[in-house]
Structure 1
Amino acid sequence: MLANYSFNSQYRPEDLANLPSLRLLEGGVFRPGQFAPVLIQEYQQVRLRFFKWGLIAPWSKTKDRNSHLPFASVNQIGRNPLLALPTRSARCLIPADGYYIHADRNQGTGKFKIQIPDKGTFCFAGIYTTIRNTDGTETQTFAILTRPAKGRLAHLAPEVPLLIPKDAEQAWLNPKTPQKDIERLLFAHQPLSYAMLPVHELIPMDPMLNDLAA
């Protein structure tokens, strides 16, 4: 199943000069329920914000808010108002350098980190909501969109995160992008190559992953 993802600021490519700087982020492994960096468009500018990972319905009662949605399949968008509404008007990008799949232990496949071969960064497609707290403050929550896995990845998990190509990032964030163009991004073929690395092989050079190897 899908688990965590990582972002390390040292991998930030220089060709993202039009986006807010991510250099000052410490990076690390992000888990559902934590606050994580996202990119959104506000007042015609791309801004860096920290939202809570795990989408919560704005209309949910306070007692129900422990139930959150870290991942959301693109195939469910048309059937679920919680996904459909933000996909039209509240889209975000989540910067990452890799994500983790905890495969079925019964198959002996273990845990893997998926990254692109040059260890560069990329962005997941995300959607977000704003919920009002009992004290009057607001919290933004987000989910990473997923799509059916193909090839080798399909043996590890039924779904994988949806990556937005760099040349389409601005279109994804822009609330004025026509819906037909957004749907094209949701379901377009993604030829991105990737490396699939067993987590235990990463431990010697990446101490922050020690807990994942347990």
Structure 2
Amino acid sequence: MCGRYTITVTLEELLARYEAENMSAEYQPRYNIAPGQMVPAVIAGAEGRRLGMLRWGLVPPWADDPKIGNRMINARAETLEERPAYRNAYRTKRCLIPADGFYEWKKIAGGPSRPFRITLRGGGLFSLAGLYETWTSPDGDRLHTCAVLTTEPNRLMADIHDRMPVILRKEDEDLWLDRRVREPAKLAGLLAPYPAEEMEAYEVGRLVGNVANDVPACLEKANG
């Protein structure tokens, strides 16, 4: 799964990387993003890319209770066509979720799990493949939400966890965002594990285990 991640660049850097129009004043660098929080996302607008904020945890339009989003932070790439909650969004409401790292916990026999931060080799921004939806309450209030797609782990991730987020190559981002593309067969090739040799991982301290800790120290390598 993907349950925590980071995006530590400035707003100016983010807008420049995605060549996007800013639709939100809420953005700030984050070091320990957790489900249920508002996250920056890029979608395709009529006149180009737009950057806005979505709540992490997808709520389908037909849901009776928005709390369903608490259980829908990740969508398995292998079953998107089978899940009613994701099927329509996969065809028409795809987004990019910018990140520069994500956390995963490695299970240790006889001991506590150890947190790792995974990045591109050499650092830098990358795009997690996401889906988004809009849910409307009986009173007419609108809630914009998203989920991160996950896939099988690559060689690097397999030693840490049995899933990893879908990371898109920069040259594939336009295809993923193109709302005119509605055939899953044209998108399936983008959902493969990102090459292990282009990524790296390092153990971090247990500070990241508490969602209240959203500070640069979360990025630091663990002692020893």
TM-score range, shorter chain: 0.7 to 0.9
Q: Deviations over 1:5-36 (max 9, x none)?
A: 000114947973633469x9421121100011
Distance 1:93 1:51 in 2: 11
Asked if residue 37 in structure 1 is aligned to residue 40 in structure 2, the reply is: yes
State the alpha-carbon separation in 2 of the partners of residues 65 and 146 from structure 1. 19
1:140 equivalent among 144, 148, 151: 144
- Report what 1:175 is aligned to: 179
Relative to structure 1, is the Cα distance of residues 162 and 69 closer, same or farther in structure 2, using a 3 angstrom cutoff? same
Cα deviation per residue 1:87-139 (whole Å; 9 max; x = unaligned)? Answer: 10000000000000012243655110000122100000000111012331111
- 1:6–1:17 Cα change, 3 Å: closer
Equivalent of 1:207, from 213, 217, 220?
217
Match of 2:203 among 193, 198, 202: 198
Q: For residues 125 and 91 of structure 2, what CA distance do their matches in structure 1 show? A: 25
Q: How much is the aligned-residue C-alpha RMSD, in angstroms? A: 3.1
Aligned length: 210
The alignment-based identity, stated in percent, is 25
Q: What TM-score comes out, normalization by structure 2 length?
A: 0.81
Gaps of 5+ in 2: 209-214
Letter in 1 for 2:63: S
The one-letter code sitting in structure 2 at the alignment partner of 1:27 is: P
Q: State the Cα distance separating 1:63 from its structure 2 match.
A: 7.0
Alignment of 1:77 onto 2:87:
no
| Range 153-162 or range 89-98, more displaced | 153-162
Report how far residue 67 of structure 1 moved.
Answer: 3.9
Query: Gaps (5+ residues) in structure 1?
Result: none
